[in-house]
Homo-oligomer: A and B are copies of this chain.
Amino acid sequence: MDIKFDLNKSLFNRDPQETPLGKKIIENSILLIDKIGFEAFTFKKLAVIIGSAEKSIYRYFENKHMLLLFLTSWYWEWVHYLIDVNIRNLDDPKKKLKMAIINLVNATSENPMNKQINEKLLHQVVIKEGGKAYHIIEIDEENTAGLFQSYKILVKVVADIMAEVNPKFPYCTSLSSNLFEMANNQIYFAEHLPRLSSLKSGKNQNEDLIKMLYLFTSKILY
């Protein structure tokens, strides 16, 4: 990848961002998970596709769950980075909030910063499979090990902007985490379970979603 993030070292045995094989694993795992779904995804199948050995993938990741956690963490780092860059020049907290929402919805439409990671597809993977990274029986140990840091920090960044907007509002953290969860959920619903969303799948979907999320957030906050 052209852009690297410092992810928690417990996410991997060996950092895939640092070797050609590692990059191939990341690149193709996104493609394959998107194509066949996380349940059917195996290291064997991935190894065949990249012309490598199953064992070689295990040298990078303990198992497919850790790979998914790596991918989602990388994604949240990327969104975090975009938000950071784009609110840097803004002073008005309301404008910052709006910008954060735009970025978390549109993360994928930005000019891609690297060739190895297809952010559009990665976003799709996070939408479809992201929840499986933390809905696991080992949640408490993994959380203690810091494996969800990237997401937690991002949620805090946005919660802090909300607190700037309205210092008296007592539920910034929940409002922030719900913003992220809701954004991805509503995209998924619009496409696959349309009776669960007011959004219409299609051309203006992202615009509509931004509008809706900003309306919800500002109504609650202002």
Which of B132, B137, B186, B193 is in CB contact (< 8 Å) with A132?
Answer: B132
For the complex, is A40 an interface residue (Cβ under 8 Å from B)?
A: yes
Report whether A196 and B173 are in contact in the complex, using a CB–CB cutoff of 8 Å: yes
Report whether B178 and A185 are in contact in the complex, using a CB–CB cutoff of 8 Å: yes
Report whether A152 and B193 are in contact in the complex, using a CB–CB cutoff of 8 Å: yes
Report whether A135 and B132 are in contact in the complex, using a CB–CB cutoff of 8 Å: yes
- Rounded to whole angstroms, the CA-CA distance of A182 and B129 in the bound complex is 18
- Rounded to whole angstroms, the CA-CA distance of A220 and B219 in the bound complex is 5
Q: A151-B196, A219-B220 are in contact. Are A137 and B178 (CB under 8 A)?
A: no
Contact string, A123-156, partner B, CB cutoff 8 A, digits 1/0?
0000011011011110110010000100110011
Smallest Cβ distance from A154 to chain B, in angstroms? 10
Smallest Cβ distance from A87 to chain B, in angstroms? 21
Which of B148, B175, B212, B219 is in CB contact (< 8 Å) with A193?
Answer: B148
Report whether B174 and A199 are in contact in the complex, using a CB–CB cutoff of 8 Å: yes
Report whether B220 and A216 are in contact in the complex, using a CB–CB cutoff of 8 Å: yes
Instruction: List, in ascending order, chain B residues with CB within 8 A of A10's CB.
Output: none
Q: Size range of the interface on A?
A: 35 or more
Report whether B134 and A128 are in contact in the complex, using a CB–CB cutoff of 8 Å: no
Q: A37-B136, A39-B136, A178-B185 are in contact. Are A173 and B155 (CB under 8 A)?
A: no
- Rounded to whole angstroms, the CA-CA distance of A152 and B197 in the bound complex is 10
Report whether A139 and B198 are in contact in the complex, using a CB–CB cutoff of 8 Å: no
Contact string, A188-202, partner B, CB cutoff 8 A, digits 1/0?
110011011111000
Q: Which residue of B lies closest to A190 (CB)?
A: B174
Smallest Cβ distance from A35 to chain B, in angstroms? 9
Report whether A143 and B174 are in contact in the complex, using a CB–CB cutoff of 8 Å: no
Task: Sample 23 A-B pairs with CB under 8 A, ordered by A number.
Answer: A39-B136, A128-B135, A131-B135, A134-B192, A134-B193, A139-B192, A139-B193, A140-B192, A152-B193, A152-B195, A155-B196, A171-B198, A171-B212, A174-B182, A174-B197, A177-B185, A177-B186, A177-B189, A178-B178, A178-B182, A178-B186, A219-B220, A220-B220
